[in-house]
Amino acid sequence: MAISNSKRTRFTTKLEEQLRFIQRSCEAFDNGAEDEAIRVATSLRVIFHDKKQNVSLVTHLGIGDSKMLSSSHGHGDWKDYLSIKLDVTSPQPVSMIPRLGDKFQELSIRDWWNTEKVFVNDSQDYSRRMIALSAAEKDGGAHVDDELEKYYEALCEGKYAFGLNGNLEYAGVPPFQQGVTHYANNAHLALIRQFAHEALTSVAHFKWLKTKT
């Protein structure tokens, strides 16, 4: 359905606004404020998610058939998007970091948002949409739910990946708890940061906007 020029201008302005939100949150994330990823998830929901009376910006603008860039490399899991970082001098010795990068595969917005699997738990596949909505609607983006989904809890706990046993010898007081296994507890945040990298790169690559955001 065609929209008026005034509405198109407003929706375009709102898309630019959400992209600026994402860009600023990414800069803060990269400077150590990883919880900014929760804000990113909320902006991704505004841009891409359609549900009943809630219409996404890409649908408002009629660009829902546009292409996206995915940084998947064929694993079909978090390994496509994240790397494990070890730092035995840190109170949190194991963490996940987004791969970022400049090697991508093209796919539709629909497949990028709804279909491509980015995490697997208990033989169930989870998409960008599921993870972003869990963060935005249950984990503090726009609402805090009394319970998180089991898959999202598992994603946060990191027990599917590398664990470091805290039984190391130190000259002084060790920086992290000993006698337990430490896992990365930030994969949900790092994944959302990677989704943001894909989204921002896609907007620039496919020239969604005539003006720089």
In a domain, 150, yes or no: yes
Contact by Cβ (8 Å): 180, 169: no
Contact by Cβ (8 Å): 83, 40: no
In a domain, 83, yes or no: yes
pTM of the model: 0.93
In a domain, 211, yes or no: no
At position 85, the amino acid (one-letter code) is: K
In a domain, 212, yes or no: no
Q: Residue 163 is part of which domain span?
A: 5-205
Q: In angstroms, rounded to a whole number, what is the distance separating the alpha carbons of residues 189 and 184?
A: 11
Q: How many domains is the chain partitioned into structurally?
A: 1
In a domain, 180, yes or no: yes
In a domain, 177, yes or no: yes
Pairing mode of beta strands 124-127, 105-108: unpaired
Tens of pLDDT, residue by residue, the chain (213 residues)? 578 889 999 999 999 999 999 999 999 999 999 999 999 999 999 999 998 888 999 999 999 889 999 999 888 999 999 999 999 888 899 999 999 999 999 999 999 999 999 999 999 999 999 999 999 999 998 899 899 999 999 999 999 999 998 776 665 677 888 889 999 999 999 999 999 999 999 999 999 886 444
In a domain, 21, yes or no: yes
Q: In angstroms, rounded to a whole number, what is the distance separating the alpha carbons of residues 54 and 185?
A: 31
Q: In angstroms, rounded to a whole number, what is the distance separating the alpha carbons of residues 130 and 58?
A: 18
H or E stretch including 186? none
Q: In angstroms, rounded to a whole number, what is the distance separating the alpha carbons of residues 100 and 79?
A: 12
In a domain, 133, yes or no: yes
